[in-house]
Chain A
């Protein structure tokens, strides 16, 4: 938060008639929370949207988690035909699995290979493939990640513990408008005998954003 925003938040909070004590200071809503509540209440009061619509949208968001993305990745690992269709038209292929795109975005699936590592960021705000991954992590929305992912991606990756060799190209995708992106990580070695469900269990949210790779299962590393 900038000092200007903090100042504005303080002014706004002090305008509330019921003064807060130090004990409940943590309960005091922040500047943006107050703004959100005010706008929401106004929209409802003016009958532009309803409470029911808001609750419905929260239910929609809650039904989307990285488990959906993991299911897509695992299917792509075991089914080359599915992977091909996913690369050709991400949204249509996810819809075949029964995952809808309620925000009317399109999906491009970025496949990591021996020679290419993909990383996804939204420098302007927080565009994220919510229909298949749910809400983005906090760091994804903060300025340090957004600014540095496009200017020094290898350093950012290293801070996530992901070292990309120099002979592998780092491709950073800045998501700015109608497209959303899902990284298709490389299938870890030693998983040939895994079922699709077991493979899905290995896929992490961070690997689908591209800040991580998927390590071989520990039992496979030290047999």
Chain B
């Protein structure tokens, strides 16, 4: 299996987690990539927006590239998720085997649960 660096944290009663400390999604969760059009730096290719996939592995928190592009770093760490998207779901008339897939890491703020 691939690395899974982050996890949904289990805490003692009364412990309050900071934003981004606990992963929002786990391996196997179904997610959709949001359709957003931010101005500036982003790391989500346009072909992926609005597409659905499954979380393959959870990557430990890193800085939000979009915020970092404007020098806003503090409190901007969230998990990355490596997700699997079927090629047939990405491209109309995809010519290849049914099992062919795309894998890509997506920042937490770009995903929603489905």
Contacts and interface: CB of A to CB of B under 8 A. Distances in A.
A173 B104 contact: yes
A71 interface: no
Given A108-B2, A169-B101, A177 B96 contact: no
Interface of A is mostly: mixed
Interface in B64-114: 65, 80, 82, 87, 90-91, 94-97, 99-107
Interface stretch (A130-138, A149-157, A186-194): A149-157
B44 interface: yes
Given A124-B43, A124-B45, A153-B100, A176 B3 contact: no
Contacts of B96: 152-154, 170
Nearest to A173: B103
A179 B60 CA distance: 11
Given A106-B59, A108-B3, A170-B96, A176 B43 contact: yes
A150 B102 contact: yes
Contacts, number: 81
B40 to A, nearest CB: 14
Nearest to A169: B99
B8 interface: no
A171 interface: yes
A89 interface: yes
A89 B59 CA distance: 12
Contacts of B101: 169-172
Contacts of B3: 88-90, 106, 108
B62 A150 contact: no
A175 to B, nearest CB: 8
B100 A177 contact: no
Interface in B25-40: none
Interface of A: 87-90, 106, 108, 123-124, 150-155, 166-179
11 contacts: A123-B45, A153-B87, A153-B96, A154-B95, A154-B100, A169-B99, A169-B100, A169-B101, A171-B103, A172-B101, A177-B107
